[in-house]
Amino acid sequence: MKDVFTIYKEKLTTPDIAIELIKDKTKFAFPMHFMQPRALFEAIAKKARNNGYTRLDAYYFSSRDHARETILSWDLNKIIIPHSFFISETERKINALNDQEKGEKRVMFHPCHFSQSPKIFTEVIKPDTFITMVSPMDKFGYMSIGLSNDYASSLLRTAKNIIVEVNENVPYTFGSQNTIHVSEVSAIVENNIPLLEVNDQEPKPEELKIAETIADLIPNGATIQMGIGGLPNLVCKKLENHKDLGIHTEVLTTGMIKLIKDGVVNNSKKNINTGKTVYTFAIGNKEMYGLLDKNPSFESYPVDYVNDDYIISKNDNVISINSTIEIDLTGACNSEHLKGHQYSATGGQVDFVRGAYKSKNGKSFIALTSTASNGKFSKIVPKLSGPVTTTRTDVQYVVTEYGIVNLKGLSSSERALALINIAHPKFRDELLKEAKKLNIL
């Protein structure tokens, strides 16, 4: 029987040779964010430009620099077809260029709840090949998928071909289903590049009041979930005097890491995964990646576990903080559609809104500044301009810089009045008129 290091050497090859496993007119998939494999992408793009492919269908959530600069380049868009479950800056730029040319749609958007993505990928999409960045192999032959468990772990076990790009900078993370054995890999390439990092967004002045309002309603011992951006980081800063917090979150962020390092988070009050920080993917910086490496206090799980509303609700005092683009006078949220275009996606918002409310003493917050475009437009609107992301029957707390309302149990007219009261004052009279026209009041 061959030892794992011999197997590794036999499967180690160049990116150009490795991607020969990706056949023309097939489907391939890759992970989200910072585990997207640069060297493999470059090889695929080069082959496509040299007429090596006539069509490939690429499936993924949320592209980043490595994909944007290679396989998702505009000149390859008719050969490598993007199938995205989350619209990011890359896809928005492709769509903008498409609008200028008035051509056919260039990005195929697939709506879904994030929690359902493993099932959709493995039972519906069924990609032939999965490519990903991984950590170096340990002495037992296992490589970790690092920062991105989410749907990636399910594809490691179902795709016909698995091509990995080993990077010494990828942390070896613990958890569930987040490793692959060298014997299960089809081909290996090596590319020791620095991992991408995220720059913390500067919060808006109005977000300070929103963060203070939310933080005041988070008890000691709560288990928190929040997203990426200036507001979530502000909330984290406002929690610096809290005690015994826990984390069960879709995305692990730098704001949460600071709470852990400061001793605010110890996960001691959680009913499940006690003592562990639970997440499905991580976006951060070099400091975070170093902390995650071989650290048993952090556990990454597949997204169909982390975002399962039943699993979420097993912890008490779950706090979920999400944002939205607009909310109508019934309480329904559009969190993904802007100016006639798909802007982001549903993601895990509904998963955590429902899970937090099911939790004993849990609270779900939808947070938004009252206006957009430097005060030109109200984000509290009579009717949504896009699809419903989170239904009116799911929304609990809504917070703006003008206050907070709990919509649970309110009548339709009470909801409308409550939301108007936290809208920007200059839009309240018009919203009242519209509510009457719509027979809400």
Quick: pLDDT tens for 367-417.
Answer: 999 999 999 999 999 999 999 999 999 999 999 999 999 999 999 999 999
Which of 168, 138, 170 minimizes the C-alpha distance to 4?
A: 138
Q: What is the pLDDT of residue 101?
A: 66
- Which residue, chain included where needed, has tokens 């493993």? 118
pLDDT tens digits, residue range 154-181? 999 999 999 999 999 999 999 999 999 9
Residue 76's contacts (CB-CB under 8 Å, 6 or more residues apart) are: 45, 48, 49
Catalytic status, residue 250? yes
Mean pLDDT of 208-214: 97
Say if residue 77's pLDDT is above 80: yes
Q: What is the pLDDT of residue 202?
A: 78
**Tokens describing residue 207:** 């977000």
Q: What is the pLDDT of residue 200?
A: 78
pLDDT tens digits, residue range 62-71? 999 999 999 9
Q: What is the pLDDT of residue 102?
A: 65
Say if residue 349's pLDDT is above 90: yes
Reported as a pLDDT band with limits 50, 70 and 90, residue 103 is low
Say if residue 230's pLDDT is above 90: no
CA dihedral 292, 229, 360, 296 (to 10 degrees): 0
- Which residue, chain included where needed, has tokens 């296992």? 142
Q: Given 165, 250, 336, 401, which residue is catalytic?
A: 250
Q: What is the pLDDT of residue 221?
A: 99
Tell me the pTM: 0.96
Helices 230-238 and 205-216, packing angle to 10 deg: 50
Reported as a pLDDT band with limits 50, 70 and 90, residue 106 is confident
Choice between 391 and 341, residue whose per-residue pLDDT is larger: 391
pLDDT tens digits, residue range 265-305? 999 999 999 999 999 999 999 999 999 999 999 999 999 99
pLDDT above 90 as % of the chain: 92
pLDDT above 70 as % of the chain: 99
Single-letter amino acid, residue 108: M
Q: Which domains does the chain have, with CATH numbers?
A: 4-190 (3.40.1080.10), 205-437 (3.40.1080.20)
Please, is 372 exposed, middle or buried when counting C-beta atoms within 10 Å of its C-beta (0-12, 13-18, 19+)? Answer: middle
Q: What is the pLDDT of residue 228?
A: 84
Annotate 61-74 with b (16+ C-beta within 10 A) or e (fewer). bbbbebbbebbbbe
Choice between 433 and 94, residue whose per-residue pLDDT is larger: 433
Q: What is the pLDDT of residue 229?
A: 81
Reported as a pLDDT band with limits 50, 70 and 90, residue 78 is very high
C-beta separation of 184 from 148 below 8 A:
no
Q: What is the mean pLDDT of the chain?
A: 96
Q: What is the pLDDT of residue 147?
A: 98
Q: What is the pLDDT of residue 329?
A: 98
